[in-house]
């Protein structure tokens, strides 16, 4: 049975020497082996008109087709920068202060989703085909695919939180979007709480019949299941154990020169809680003068969605708070906050994970948060401070869990982590490691596809 994956982004990129290679990322790593084995297509947006619509991959001995849906600048602005990033993203993350319900975004989203559906219909020619759509960019495409092809199997994985019904219904197009999703046979989310929110949205907003985790609506049946995503555990372990990473981690510790290292690693996104985290670290320094000179906080922020004003504004605010903290507390030979705004390789990130005594992973809201799993896998004796407003928190009770809006609580948790005795650190980290091993990303993909088949 061949597979068609439909996602906002295609899974390949051009390397510096011009060759096409798989892009880095959990989804690509999980799904390329399946596509290689079964054949099929991966359909994503085409941002560059110079690139071909259909590209067999790999070029010399193709296993599957990469298909691009070419988008004009207006389409990209309405569908991606507008509807995906300014409407669905903030509402799903409960950050409605950033929500811009512009009807023209929805109009473009509709027409782009229709074009994705047409591309799918063009690629799919066998009735035993499985089609797997990804994420909030593609809520409406399933409906148009289903109308043309009642026989295909349609799955959808939602990678961000599915918010509480009362929040989801803020979307002026909530019902239309839900109807799009309910053309699928299986909808996957990370944790049971999101399953419950989805079912409640279908029940209240559409009057759908709910039977356990199955939605009956308009003559069609959709199962809704939790499939928590993982990382490539083995590869991360190998990277973390490599000589290159060990050396880089040692160099980092030496360079910072402090007894303790606390890290934060995120895309620079307002959902990640970078500002609140910095303010909590500032509070920790205010409350604990004895720690001055002994702790370095290393915050890496990867540039993201830089064309969206709220992201530009956030960058300015983070720059300012970092400057304020260092201005107040730095002294000879000690800079409390080391801040880097750039993209790092996975090897470099592994060195940070390995060097850290404490990871501060405190999003204001996050569907899962895979950085958490990377830290747990790569680190050897550190402490994880984790926001309770993440999907990961439901799975990782051995982390120190905090409310990221509680500045004093977060500041106090930094001290608790630094003072945790080695036995407790080890016990907690081992328990976390064993959970993360069970969440492997290949297993996630197989689990979802098996459930879709069933």
Binding site for ligand F6P (CB under 6 A): 9, 135, 159-160, 304-305
Alpha-carbon distance of 131 to 252, in angstroms, equals 45
From 6, 26, 14, 2, select the one nearest 374 (Cα to Cα).
Answer: 26
- For residues 160 and 349, which CB has a smaller minimum distance to ligand F6P in the complex? 160
Nearer to ligand F6P, 277 or 305 (CB): 305
Q: Which is nearer to ligand F6P, 7 or 167 (CB)?
A: 7
Torsion of CA 135, 138, 140, 145, to 10 degrees: -110
Closest distance between ligand F6P and the C-beta of residue 408, in Å?
Answer: 30
Residue 180, SS3 per DSSP: helix
Closest distance of CB 160 from ligand F6P, Å: 5
Of residues 86 and 253, the one with the C-beta less far from ligand F6P? 86
Rounded-to-integer distance, Cα 167 and Cα 318, Å = 28
Choose between 305 and 354: whose C-beta lies nearer to ligand F6P. 305
For residue 361, the minimal CB distance to ligand F6P (Å) is 14
CB of 305 to ligand F6P, least distance (A): 6
Q: Nearer to ligand F6P by C-beta: 313 or 343?
A: 343
Six-digit token pair at 284? 């920790």
Task: Work out the end-to-end distance of the chain between its first and last CA atoms, rounded to an integer number of angstroms.
Answer: 13
Q: How far is the CB of 448 from ligand F6P (least distance, A)?
A: 15
Shortest Å distance, C-beta 351 to ligand F6P: 22
Q: How far is the CB of 394 from ligand F6P (least distance, A)?
A: 17
Give the separation between CA 40 and CA 12, rounded to whole angstroms. 15
Pick 134 or 222: Cβ nearer ligand F6P: 134
Side-chain-side CA neighbours of residue 325 (13 Å): 28
Q: Which residue is nearest to ligand F6P (CB)?
A: 159
What is the Cβ-side half-sphere exposure of residue 74, based on CA atoms within 13 angstroms?
Answer: 4
Supply angle C-alpha 424, 425, 427, rounded to 5: 60
State the minimum distance, in angstroms, from the CB of residue 260 to ligand F6P: 30
**Residue whose CB is less far from ligand F6P, 28 or 201:** 28
CB 88, min distance to ligand F6P, A: 10
- Helix, strand, coil percentages (3-state) for the chain, rounded to 5, are 50, 20, 30
Q: Which of 227, 229, 297 is nearest to 264 (CA)?
A: 297
Distances (CA, A) of 295 to 54, 329, 376, 401: 52, 12, 21, 21
Give the nearer residue to ligand F6P in terms of CB position, either 160 or 356.
Answer: 160
Query: 103 to each of 108, 110, 205, how far by Cα in Å?
Result: 9, 11, 20
CA distances from 287 to 31, 116, 256, 260, 290 (A): 48, 54, 22, 17, 9
């Amino acid at each position: 049975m061949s597979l068609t994956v439909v996602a906002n982004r295609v899974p390949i990129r051009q390397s510096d020497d011009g060759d096409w290679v798989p892009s880095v990322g959990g989804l690509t790593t999980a799904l390329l082996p399946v596509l290689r084995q079964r054949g099929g297509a991966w359909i994503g947006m085409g941002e560059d008109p110079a690139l071909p619509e259909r590209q067999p991959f790999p070029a010399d001995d193709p296993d599957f087709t990469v298909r691009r849906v070419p988008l004009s600048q207006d389409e990209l602005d309405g569908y991606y920068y507008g509807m995906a990033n300014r409407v669905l993203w903030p509402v799903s993350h409960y950050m409605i202060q950033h929500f811009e319900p512009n009807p023209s975004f929805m109009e473009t989203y509709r027409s782009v989703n229709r074009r994705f559906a047409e591309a799918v219909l063009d690629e799919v020619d066998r009735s035993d085909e499985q089609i797997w759509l990804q994420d909030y960019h593609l809520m409406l495409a399933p409906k148009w695919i289903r109308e043309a092809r009642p026989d295909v199997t349609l799955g959808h994985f939602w990678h961000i939180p599915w918010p509480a019904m009362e929040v989801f219904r803020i979307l002026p197009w909530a019902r239309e979007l839900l109807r799009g999703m309910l053309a699928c046979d299986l909808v996957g989310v990370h944790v049971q709480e999101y399953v419950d929110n989805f079912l409640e949205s279908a029940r209240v907003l559409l009057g759908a019949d709910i039977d356990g985790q199955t939605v009956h609506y308009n003559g069609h049946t959709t199962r809704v299941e939790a499939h928590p995503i993982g990382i490539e555990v083995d590869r991360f372990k190998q990277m973390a154990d490599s000589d290159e990473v060990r050396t880089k981690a040692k160099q980092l510790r030496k360079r910072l020169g402090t007894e303790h290292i606390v890290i934060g690693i995120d895309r620079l996104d307002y959902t990640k809680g970078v500002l609140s985290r910095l303010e909590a670290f500032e509070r920790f320094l205010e409350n604990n003068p004895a720690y001055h000179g002994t702790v370095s906080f290393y915050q890496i922020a990867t540039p993201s969605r830089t064309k969206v004003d709220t992201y530009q504004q956030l960058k300015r605010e983070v720059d300012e708070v970092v400057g304020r903290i260092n201005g107040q507390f730095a002294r000879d030979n000690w800079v409390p906050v080391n801040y880097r705004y750039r993209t790092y390789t996975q090897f470099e990130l592994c060195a940070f994970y390995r060097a850290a005594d404490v990871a501060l992973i405190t999003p204001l809201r996050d569907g899962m948060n895979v950085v958490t799993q990377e830290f747990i896998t790569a680190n050897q004796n550190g402490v994880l401070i984790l926001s309770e407003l993440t999907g990961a928190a439901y799975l990782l009770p051995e982390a120190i869990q905090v409310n990221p809006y509680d500045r004093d609580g977060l500041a106090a948790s930094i001290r608790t982590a630094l003072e945790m005795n080695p036995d407790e650190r080890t016990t907690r980290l081992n328990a976390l490691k064993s959970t993360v091993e069970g969440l492997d990303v290949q297993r996630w993909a197989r689990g979802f596809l098996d459930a879709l088949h069933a």
